[in-house]
Amino acid sequence: MGQGRDHRVQDYIQPLAFPAGAIVLALALSIVWNMAPVDAFLLSFLVVTVGLQGIWAFLGHYFKADMVAALIGWPAGNPFQTEIAFANLAFGILGLLCVFYRGEFWIATAIGISVFLLGAASVHIRDIRERGNLNPANAGGILVTDILTPIALLGLLALRYLL
């Protein structure tokens, strides 16, 4: 399965915990605090899947770089890990700031992370096609969230601002 390493099921599905958490938070905001459903889901996805997941990705890429590289199926010791760590930290901070800033800040944060995640998805897909890399952080839940998070965010933005 993974180049010289046995991967567990959780290695493949762990990134899906963030969208699941965002859905639970959105339901709470909508039902308990009476927030409009589109706003509740948009805010929750910005804070949890952009903010918290971005901080989580920073921590992994920065402090556990070799382990994360192995999960992706890429060589350890690459300075790319530090660069991607700080990109994740930047988006993580933007996502968390969505609690305090609304409107165009939400739009800019959602567009920025969508470009980043869809670009990352294209790299993962190319790596699957060219090298058959099915490691968990290349072909697992992270690939799913790299594609579905932008779809959810941009769809929610369209519902909130265009309809």
**pTM beyond cutoff 0.95:** no
Give me the chain's average pLDDT, please.
Answer: 93
Region 73-80: what's the mean pLDDT?
Answer: 90
Q: By three-state DSSP, how is residue 35 classified?
A: coil
Residue 140 CB partners (closer than 8 Å, separation 6+): 11, 12, 13, 15
Region 91-116: what's the mean pLDDT?
Answer: 98
User: In one letter, which amino acid is 114?
Assistant: S
Instruction: Annotate 63-104 with three-state secondary structure.
Output: HCHHHHHHHHCCCCCCCHHHHHHHHHHHHHHHHHHCCCCCCH
Burial of 17 per CB tally in 10 Å (0-12, 13-18, 19+): middle
pLDDT, residue 4, reads 46
Region 117-146: what's the mean pLDDT?
Answer: 95
Which tens digit of pLDDT belongs to each residue from 133-154? 999 999 999 999 999 999 999 9
**φ, ψ of residue 2 in degrees (nearest 5):** -115, 130
pLDDT, residue 3, reads 46
Which tens digit of pLDDT belongs to each residue from 6-52? 677 777 788 899 999 999 999 999 999 999 999 999 999 999 999 99
